[in-house]
Chains A and B, each alone.
Chain A
Amino acid sequence: QQQVKQSPQSLIVQKGGISIINCAYENTAFDYFPWYQQFPGKGPALLIAIRPDVSEKKEGRFTISFNKSAKQFSLHIMDSQPGDSATYFCAASRGKAAGNKLTFGGGTRVLVKP
């Protein structure tokens, strides 16, 4: 059973545009939601993370929006740049109490056209 559903699978955006990736989770015990960025041939890199006690977190051009009642969270990439072209994964965890195990979404391949 896929516990974290991610959409879209792929996304093409023009330079300067906004990339939006959505994730939905089923397990209400999840309480930590990181996003990872992965370039071809590299391991995933932690981008930004949020906990359910806040509805939004912003770091530079990257913003997470969190809707606890809907069990959804999303990543917004503002002013998208060609260097942002990568695969993005959302994930969810129950934190240290559950061994910090991450459950990943299916991934979104983002292509930013110059």
Chain B
Amino acid sequence: SAVISQKPSRDICQRGTSLTIQCQVDSQVTMMFWYRQQPGQSLTLIATANQGSEATYESGFVIDKFPISRPNLTFSTLTVSNMSPEDSSIYLCSSSIGVSSYNEQFFGPGTRLTVL
């Protein structure tokens, strides 16, 4: 398994501001993912971040709102831009470990974001 850490663990932000969330993996990984988990809800994939290429966004998520960086094989950031109260969620990063066709995916502890 992989050890994944996220910073910050939680934050309270004002409407209209931006927050950058960091994700660090303890080993080199090709694929990293960002998910959103709205209060009491399931997980929804925001984007896939592969090192050396642009992030791939899922339907309903756009780069201007959720810019992602992936500068190396152990680190990624997700920025939540121009925040509104609807962005209040838990943001989770995950990474896919292994060389098989069905790589296990492990999650970080999440960043709990509250937008006032």
Contact = CB atoms under 8 A, between A and B. Distances in A.
A100 B103 CA distance: 7
Interface residues of B, number: 26
B93 to A, nearest CB: 9
Interface of A: 31-32, 34, 36, 41-46, 49, 51, 89, 93, 95-97, 99-107
26 contacts: A31-B102, A34-B104, A34-B105, A36-B107, A41-B110, A41-B112, A43-B94, A43-B109, A43-B110, A44-B43, A45-B107, A46-B1, A46-B105, A49-B104, A51-B102, A93-B102, A96-B100, A96-B101, A96-B102, A100-B31, A100-B103, A100-B105, A102-B43, A104-B42, A106-B42, A107-B41
Interface of B: 1, 4, 31, 33, 41-45, 48, 56, 92, 94, 96, 100-110, 112
